[in-house]
Amino acid sequence: MSEDIFSRLMRMFSQPGPVNLDLAREISRHLSGEVQPLNPWTTEELVELVRLAEYQVTEVAPFSFPPASAVIPLGPREWGDAMVEELAELAEPFAAQMRDSAQGQPWAMLAPLGPVMAGAQLGAWTGMMAGRVVGSSETGLPAVSSNRTLLVATVIEDLSEELSVDGRQVRMWAALYETAHRAVFTLPHVMDSYRALNEKYAATVKLAPESLMEQLGSITDPSAIFELDLNVNETNLFDASSSGTAQEDLEAFMGVTAAMSRRLVREAGSRLLPDVEEIFMDRDLNAGLDDGTDQTGMLVTVSQDAIEDGAVFLNEVEERFGPQAAARIWQPEGLPTAWEVSDPVGWAARVLLDDPLW
């Protein structure tokens, strides 16, 4: 128990702000591991491929979007650090909910730990994802605080070698997927809707005081704080069991945005990616992103079921009402509710019937 450990703890727990980002970074780094060297050839190629992908997606998207302010290939550790910053805003409502929900409860003395708990959950999530995803596209979460494209170069390089398809296709697929995902969330009303749904969900999440007290009570070495909530499936600091409709609304929305990202990848890569379906299928089966252990009770990752439901909705709107109607989905009043995702006719009744151009 060195003084260095104590000084780190003092620095982290005294950090101002709604979310303890120092703790988030410490946990993220613990989970993502040491810095991994990047292949300079791969990083240079990825930057070029993203710029090509921006052109390709622009050609097929029913909306316009700006190019990324920067394209940055990273290792898992650095990507985790970057995503802590990008997603901090999304964690803030959960810290506030802990403070508010603790008022008048026997565990009210835990309310000041809201920033710590939110930071622990944020860091656990980014650290778990860092070595598994090619970027935020595979999680369904947007990069909130910037317009950058952040790629996990080491994961992409490993996939290029492991999959049976041409490695150049894998790298192009990753560039297109990240670009399409970013493009969807550059629409201001899409990002605003996501924020509102995330806040609505956060307002339903409750503190899990038993889990927190169990975690704190088990710490005999101060350095163990850096492993707080590593097993988020068994030791969850937030209880989302009663979130009900709020979580369903968020998941349905993320399913539609993720399905649109995939559609753009398929259309933009129609000539460049003959094996795109094989790549998506392999990731869906083997990436381990849909087994439930990634849900921390705070940040919600998009599920395969939600993506499939979103794809059915997009396809049915276009088949029933045509491409112009499908493009209306991405206008401010066109985003579907969770109920409308399973009822495209209901969506059309709300969006299309009063449209003088329809």
What is the spatial distance between Cα 230 and Cα 28, in angstroms, rounded to a whole number?
10
pLDDT of residue 357: 59
What are the φ/ψ torsions at residue 111 (nearest 5 degrees)?
A: -55, -40
The single-letter code of the amino acid at 186 is: T
pLDDT of residue 98: 78
What are the φ/ψ torsions at residue 164 (nearest 5 degrees)?
A: -80, -10
pLDDT of residue 2: 46
What is the spatial distance between Cα 296 and Cα 13, in angstroms, rounded to a whole number?
21
What is the spatial distance between Cα 320 and Cα 62, in angstroms, rounded to a whole number?
18
Helix, strand, or coil (residue 71): strand
Could you tell me the residue ranges of all domains in the chain?
12-302, 303-358
**Residue ranges of the chain with pLDDT lower than 50?**
1-3, 5-6, 9-10, 218-220, 222, 228-235, 293
What are the C-alpha distances in Å from 162 to residues 46, 73, 190, 230, 286? 18, 19, 35, 28, 12
Bridge partners, 74 (sequence order): 152
- Largest distance between two CA atoms of the chain: 72
CB burial of 57-87 (b: ≥16 within 10 Å; e: otherwise) equals bbeebeeebebbeebbbbbbbbbbbbbbbbb
pLDDT of residue 173: 99
What is the spatial distance between Cα 171 and Cα 161, in angstroms, rounded to a whole number?
11
Could you tell me where the DSSP H helices lie in 186-300?
188-202, 209-217, 245-268, 276-286
What is the spatial distance between Cα 15 and Cα 207, in angstroms, rounded to a whole number?
21
pLDDT digits (tens, 9 = 90+) for 96-109: 887 776 565 555 56
pLDDT digits (tens, 9 = 90+) for 287-296: 877 655 455 5
pLDDT digits (tens, 9 = 90+) for 248-259: 999 999 999 999
Tokens of 208: 């899990």
